[in-house]
Structure 1
Amino acid sequence: MENMSQEGCQSPADTSLNTHKTQRSNSSKTPIQILHEYGTKSGNLPVYVMEKAEGEAHQPSFVFSVTIEDVSCTGQGSSKKAAKHQAAEAAIRLLQLDPGIVNSPVMSESNGVAAETNNLSNSVGLLQELALQRGWRRPEYTVLIEAGPVHQREFTVTCQLESLSEKALGNSKKGAKKAAAEKMLAKLQNLSGCSEITWMPKPSVRFENLRNSSAEKITLLRRNPLSIPNTDYIQMILELSKEQGFEVTYFDIDELTVNGQYQCLAELSTSPVTVCHGTGISCSNAHNDAAHSALQYIKIMAAIK
C-alpha cells in the first residue's frame, strides 16, 4: 500500500512538469519554431540576440535574449541553439501560447502586386526595431516608380538596409513600403540560414575610404578616361566593388523612356548610398549605362584632393 501511495501521488510541481512535457510531446515543433510561427502570424517576428558567451571550450555557456511584441526573455544553455530554445520557451509561457493554435499566415497577391494585409502591418516597425537593436542604420525607403491610372495606381518602393536592397509593388505607397519591409525580413532570415536573424552587415564603404585607397582598380579609375567605346562597365564596377568592399544592385524599371529605351537603376552600398540611372536599347545596355554613370560618380568622389 505504501509503495502504491508513493507512486500514485504527485506534487503540484510534478504535475506542472508532466503537463508541460505532455504539451511538448503533443507538438513536434520546437519552441523556436512555435514562436517564429506566432511572430509570422502576428507580424512581430522574434529577434534573438546573444548576450553572453563564456566558459571553457569543452564546457561553453551561452545566454540569448529574445524579444517579441512587448515580451523580452532570456535563456541559457551549453550551445547557442539550447540557449535560444530556453529563451523561446520562456516567451511562449509569458505569451500563453498553445502550440495547437499557431497557424501559418495566408499571403495574398494580385497580379504580382502585394496586397495590404494585417500580416504586413508591423513589418516596417519590426525592421526598424531590429536595426536599432543591432546598431544598424535605419531602413531607407524610396519610391522608384508610380504608374497606372488614377483609380488604380501602382507604386514600386525599394527598402535599403545596410548593403541589402529589396523592391516591392503595392497599390499604395504604404502598401508597397510594407511589402518591401516584409521581403527584407525574409531575406535576412534566408541569409541567416534559419528562422532567427543572425546576419551581420558588411562595414559601410565611405567615400573618404575610396579617396584614401591606393588599390589597383580605384587607381586605374582615377587615371584612365571612361569614354572608351564598347567597354564592359558592368564587369569594371563589379571588379571595383570586390576590391573596395561594396555591393552593386540593379533594379529594372518596367516603363520605357519616351524614346522607347529600357531603363534601370544601379544602387551602390556606399555611405551615403549611391543610385545612378541608365538607359539603353536593351536591359543589358541599360545596366551597362547605369554602371558607367556610377563609375563616373565614384571617379569624381574618389579623386585625391
Structure 2
Amino acid sequence: METPITMITQAPLVHNSHPRKKPGRTTIHAMLSERLSLGEAAKLEMRSLHTKTPVSVLQELLSRRGITPKYELVQIEGAIHEPVFRYRVFLSNEFVATGTGRSKKEAKHAAAKNLLELLVGNQTPEQANSTNGTSANTSTIDVTNQVVSPYDDKVMGNPIGWLQEMCMSRRWPPPSYEMIHEEGLPHERQFTIACEVLKHRELGMGKSKKLAKRMAAHKMWQALQDMPMEGSNLPQGFEDDEELSAKVQNRYTALKDSKIQTLTSTHSCKVSQFHKNLKQSTGEKLNELQNVNLNIKDFNFVEFLQEIAAEQEFEVTYVDVEEKSISGKCQCLVQLSTLPVAVCYGSGTTSKDAQANAAHNALEYLKIMTKK
C-alpha cells in the first residue's frame, strides 16, 4: 500500500499595507497639490479624470484649500420623456460654470468638468457657461443671462441661504429682514429692504422685494465674511456657551425658588368679569379702533392708545427695559391699569420705537377684546 504524499506549498507573503492603497503616492500628491496655484493644481488633478469623475476631482482639489463648491439645478428643459437638466457650479464670481445632461448626475459632472477646464485656462468664462462648453445655437436661450445670472442684481449663488448658514454656524440669531421703502411707478417699482444680524445692518435695493432681499443678504454676507470669531473681536451681544449657560442657570434657580401665586376662583371671576365688561364697553375711540387699519405707515400708536385710555378711564404706563434684546434692540413694556392689569411688550431700534411697538401691540389686544 502506497503512502499518500501531501504537497506542502509556501503561503505567499502578505504585505501590511492595504492592497488598494498605493503607498506614499496619495500623500505626496496632496502635498504637491497644496503648494501649487489653483490653476496648476487643477492641471495636476485632471490627470486622474480617466479614473475619477469630474465631481470627485473638483472636490479633492478644493477640499485641500478648505473650499466647498456649490452646485445648483437651474433649469429643466426638453420633452417630458427626454428631459435635459442644466446644473451650475459656483466657486466665486470669477469662477462659475454650467453643464447639461440627460440626468442630474450627468449635468453635474459636465458642470464640474467645465469648471476644471476654466481653472486651467482651457475655456473662457463664456465657454464654461455655454451648453457643455459649446456655443449656444439660435434655439438656445442665452445661458449667461438666464442661468449664470438668473436675477438682474448680478449677485451669484444663493446669498440668503449662505447668510442663514453663516449665522447658524456662528450660533448667532438668524438674520431679520425689514421692508424700508417702496417708490416709483407701478411698472418701475424700486424696493429697499434692510437686513440685520446682531448690531449690523445693510440695505439692499431692487426692482422686486426678492431682488432687494438678495442684495441686502449679499452685502451682509460680504461684511461678515472676514469678521473674526475669537475673544474680544466677537460682535457685541454675542455670548459664549459658558456665559449663556451661567445666565440660564441663575435664572432657573431664581425661578425655581420663587413662589408663584396660582389663579384662585376669586381672581378667575375678576378676569372673566373684566373681559365681559370690555366686550360691552362703548365709546367713540373704541368704535374707531374696530375700523382703523393698524398697519398704516406713520400711524401714531402712542397717541391713539392714550385717547382710548382717557375715554375708558384707565392709565397707560411705559416701562423701558434696560437690557437689550438678543438682536440688539431696545425693549419696552406698556401697562394698562385695567383690572386685572394688562401688559404688552414692544421692541425697536430706539426707545421711542420700542414704545410705539408696545402701544401697537396693546391696541391689537384691545381690538380683539372689544370686538362685538
After TM superposition, the score normalised by the length of structure 2 is 0.28
Query: Larger strand proportion, structure 1 or 2?
Result: 1
Q: Which has the larger radius of gyration?
A: 2
After TM superposition, the score normalised by the length of structure 1 is 0.33
